[in-house]
Amino acid sequence: EAQVTQNPRYLITVTGKKLTVTCSQNMNHEYMSWYRQDPGLGLRQIYYSMNVEVTDKGDVPEGYKVSRKEKRNFPLILESPSPNQTSLYFCASSLRWHFTSTDTQYFGPGTRLTVL
């Protein structure tokens, strides 16, 4: 089954404790991205990756890191989490994302993160 998976689905942690949220897709997609969703603000892009070893900042990259060493995986790293990073996080992927693309973007199930 074609899908985007995220782990963990729920996480409660404390300020400053490094954590990684994994994202994996099995569709051989080039483009992957991370979003956070907060009440009243909608989805905001954190980072995106056009392909392996190619990443770039989205609208709200501060406090986050990403890597794209393999095509299928795109982990989100919080080196020193803070309470304002408490949010619902979504990973997404699509086949391509160049200017002529209308490829469908597939979202993962979400990771609910609470930072105390």
Partner 1 sequence: KNQVEQSPQSLIILEGKNCTLQCNYTVSPFSNLRWYKQDTGRGPVSLTIMTFSENTKSNGRYTATLDADTKQSSLHITASQLSDSASYICVVSATTGGSYIPTFGRGTSLIVHP
Strand 19-25's sheet: what is its strand order?
4-7, 19-25, 76-78, 65-66
Please tell me whether residue 23 adopts helix, strand or coil conformation.
strand
Q: Does 1 bind partner 1 (CB under 8 A)?
A: no
- For residues 23 and 31, is the Cβ–Cβ distance under 8 A? no
- Which of 14, 41, 70, 82 contacts partner 1 by CB under 8 A? 41
- In the complex with partner 1, the residue whose CB is nearer, 66 or 92, is 92
**Binding residues for partner 1, per CB under 8 A?**
4, 35, 40-45, 48, 50, 56, 58, 90, 92, 97-99, 101-102, 104-110
